[in-house]
Amino acid sequence: MTDNFCKPEENSYNFEEHWNNAYLKTPTVSLGWYEVNPKQSINLINECSLPEDALIFNAGAGSTTLINKLLECGYSNIIVNDIAASALTDLKNGLASHKNKKVQFIVDDLTKPIELLNLKNVDLWHDRAVLHFFTEESQQIAYFNLIKKVVKVDGFVILAEFNLEGAKKCCGLDVVNYNVEMFQNKLGADFELLKSFDHTYIQPSGNKREYVYSLFKRTA
Ligand SMILES: C[S@@+](CC[C@H](N)C(=O)[O-])C[C@H]1O[C@@H](n2cnc3c(N)ncnc32)[C@H](O)[C@@H]1O
């Protein structure tokens, strides 16, 4: 388990190195956020009724099993992002059986985006367990500005983060706990809440982590 292996003390903390180390030191299936089956995300994505060529952006994807599931479902236009290149190694290796499908990888910081600023017309933004690590207001502003820049009107946003009863730390980092009203405030009136629910995720260690899942649609 990766909780508590190091602790940042300054604003200048090197998050890229932190996350690279997390993935280098711990096998994917032992990570405290590893999901065998990302059922809650898939159910919400199904609610969007997207065409198979819809542009799906997975923020801070790490080694998520979601990308393989999306390819199995027929989706063919997927962009996978992470701040840490090593986070994506297992995911890339696992895509060997889907060689003909379009998956683009972008290593970039969601809170200081460079290459990500080129994105446009995203049909679905998906984030599980990433936003809650952005404890500085400036990081949150940059993150939500990016969503508002790249998600198209009629596009969707899925946010799944630790809820108000949830853990206060993950992977040695402080987190911000969320509820749906907080998501709505950050997204603004152009995003309409379609669905939300709490979910208890069981870590590989057997410990529980409380999440809030939400699905928003951009209306303007
Ligand atoms: C707890 S993991 C969740 C991974 C994946 N979303 C999942 O559900 O399995 C958090 C992920 O966010 C990535 N991450 C953290 N800060 C980031 C940032 N500023 N920009 C992009 N990715 C980031 C980490 O490298 C890590 O892969």
For ligand 1, say whether the CB of 62 is within 6 Å of any of its atoms.
Answer: yes
In 48-199, where does DSSP find H-type helix? Answer: 66-72, 89-93, 137-150, 180-187
For ligand 1, say whether the CB of 113 is within 6 Å of any of its atoms.
Answer: no
Which residues, other chains included, contact 34 with Cβ-Cβ below 8 Å and sequence gap of 6+? 28, 63, 65, 203, 204
- What is the number of the ligand 1 atom nearest to the C-alpha of 110? 20
Contact indicator for 80, 58 with CB cutoff of 8 Å: yes
Of the candidates 136, 137, 134, 133, the residue with the CA atom closest to the CA atom of residue 169: 133
For ligand 1, say whether the CB of 111 is within 6 Å of any of its atoms.
Answer: yes
Question: Mean pLDDT score of the chain, rounded to an integer?
Answer: 94
pLDDT > 50? residue 10: no
Q: In whole angstroms, give the CA distance from residue 98 to residue 109.
A: 26
Mutation choice for ligand 1 from 82, 109, 127, 170, CB with most ligand atoms inside 8 A: 82
Give the per-residue pLDDT at 134.
98
1 band by pLDDT with thresholds 50, 70 and 90: very low
- pLDDT tens for each residue of 82-124: 999 999 998 998 887 777 667 999 999 999 999 999 999 999 9
Contact indicator for 175, 133 with CB cutoff of 8 Å: yes
For ligand 1, say whether the CB of 57 is within 6 Å of any of its atoms.
Answer: no
Q: Does this model's pTM top 0.75?
A: yes
- pLDDT tens for each residue of 135-178: 999 999 999 999 999 999 999 999 999 999 999 999 999 999 99
pLDDT > 60? residue 9: no
Mean pLDDT of 183-208: 98
Q: Whose CA is nearest to atom 9 of ligand 1?
A: 64
